[in-house]
Structure 1
Amino acid sequence: MYEVVIVEDDPMVAMINKQYVTENKHFHVASVCRDGDAALAYLTANNVQLVILDVYMPKTTGIEVLRRIREKNLPLAVIMVTAANDSAAIEEAVRLGVVDYLIKPFSSARFQQALEKFLSRQDAFHDLEQFSQQHIDAMLNSGSSKTIEQLPKGIQDQTLETVHNFLERNPDTDFTGEEIADKVGLSRVTVRRYLNFLLEKGTISGNMNYETGGRPCMLYRINK
């Protein structure tokens, strides 16, 4: 499980971000810091893998916190969560190597995509001893070590990653489409479209369950 610190001066936003993080079983919120100075003190003294970082805060801005994290060579990743959509802040955040940059207001699904992007990169670093150019290109462009391919109209890369990664992280469990939709924060119609795409590619399997006591339903599972 990855330890997460949320850095946000707005208590309501901090609470929502914490709720979004805890929806994913791979993460645990270790601390919520209200300003940049408190965050830097905590990050320096504790083992943390991911920071959810706002830009505009009292005392020390999120960008300055990010700079100091890099200066200290702290081994952690950062997702920027902010209302700041000016090009200078975005350019600086990207230059300093953020995993993702979310502009408020954002949906739970988009937040989960950012978390999955982090998880995909961590998996790549842990699973691969050597990287090919293809691995690097795929990881930098989509947050995944998987091969980039031309997707058909109506299939978006990040949404496909979200559905696929959820099933991949639960390889021994069968899920209905409704259960998957609830877990990843997408509509059932959207999830069904992506499940059909993955079925056609042979990435997942689907088996009809007649033991529901009511209407039969399809159960989906990643192919190993």
Structure 2
Amino acid sequence: MIKVLIIEDDPMVAEINKIYTEKNKNFEVYKICNNGADALTLLSKTKIDLIILDVFMPKMNGIEFLKKIREKGILLDVIIVTSSHDADKLDTVLKFGAIDYLIKPFKYERFNSALENFLNKHTLLNKNKEINQCDIDKLTKFKGKTLPVNLPKGFHKITLSRISTFMKNNNYYFTSEEVATKLNLSKVTTRKYLNYMEEINLISSNIKYGTIGRPTTEYLWNR
């Protein structure tokens, strides 16, 4: 069982993260801390396998916490869960070893995908004394970035290639409507392909809430 520490100052978000985490039977939440300072004290006494970390918190924010544990030589895997769209913050946490970055609000499927990616790495590295190149490729940049050979019924390789190339070459969030317009495709077709690309971990989605109207779903290529 993977022991998880959630660091989140919003009680409602923390509870959602806990429910989502324990919905996957391989994980259990050991504790929820509402700031980085308390979490740092806990880590000095308790063995944790994975941290789910917010960025904006009192006493010690997520970035300060991440820097501090690295200074102390604590090499735990960390998944960032935050409302921040700031590219500088993303760049910083990735350089300090965060293994994933989820922007609130997010779908359960995306959250669970982050857990499963961690679990695959954890299992591989803890069950094998030696690994081969194929194993390494699964854990690094080659994972999930190649188009599948066999597509579901009704999907076409050329269309999938066009959409995936566009998303890969544009490091920005796009709605399905925006992608459809830029590639001169139907909105229904584009949405179908984007949903499939998210299922196979080529892209990630983020729900954006505006002041007027329904929330929109945006998609970003997984780097």
Compute the TM-score of the two structures, normalised by the length of structure 2. 0.65
Task: Summarize the alignment of residues 133-172 of structure 1 with structure 2, pairs less than 5 Å apart.
Answer: 133-141=133-141, 149-151=146-148, 152=151, 153=160, 154=193, 156=196, 159-160=199-200
What SS is found at the alignment partner of 1:99? strand
Contact 2:81 2:101 in 1 (8 A): yes
CA offsets per residue over residues 43-90 of structure 1, 9 Å max, x none?
121010000000010111101111111122224210000011111110
Contact 1:113 1:159 in 2 (8 A): no
What SS is found at the alignment partner of 1:101? strand
Q: Look up the match of 1:57.
A: 57
Contact 2:53 2:78 in 1 (8 A): yes
CA offsets per residue over residues 158-209 of structure 1, 9 Å max, x none?
6347xxxxxxxxxxxxxxxxxxxxxxxxxxxxxxxxxxxxxxxxxxxxxxxx
TM-aligned CA distance change 1:15 to 1:71, over 3 Å:
same
Specify every segment of 5 or more residues in structure 2 that has no aligned partner in the other structure, as ranges. Answer: 152-159, 161-192, 202-223
Distance 2:64 2:143 in 1: 25
TM-aligned CA distance change 1:26 to 1:64, over 3 Å:
same
Q: How many residue pairs were aligned? A: 158
Would you identify which runs of 4 or more consecutive aligned residues in structure 1 move more than 6 Å?
Answer: none
Query: Does structure 1 residue 94 correspond to structure 2 residue 94?
Result: yes
Partner amino acid for 1:6?
Answer: I
Partner amino acid for 2:53?
Answer: L
Partner amino acid for 1:97?
Answer: G
Partner amino acid for 1:127?
Answer: K
Contact 2:55 2:80 in 1 (8 A): yes
Compute the TM-score of the two structures, normalised by the length of structure 1. 0.65
Identical-pair percentage: 40
Q: Look up the match of 2:8.
A: 8
TM-aligned CA distance change 1:96 to 1:157, over 3 Å:
farther
Q: Look up the match of 2:175.
A: none
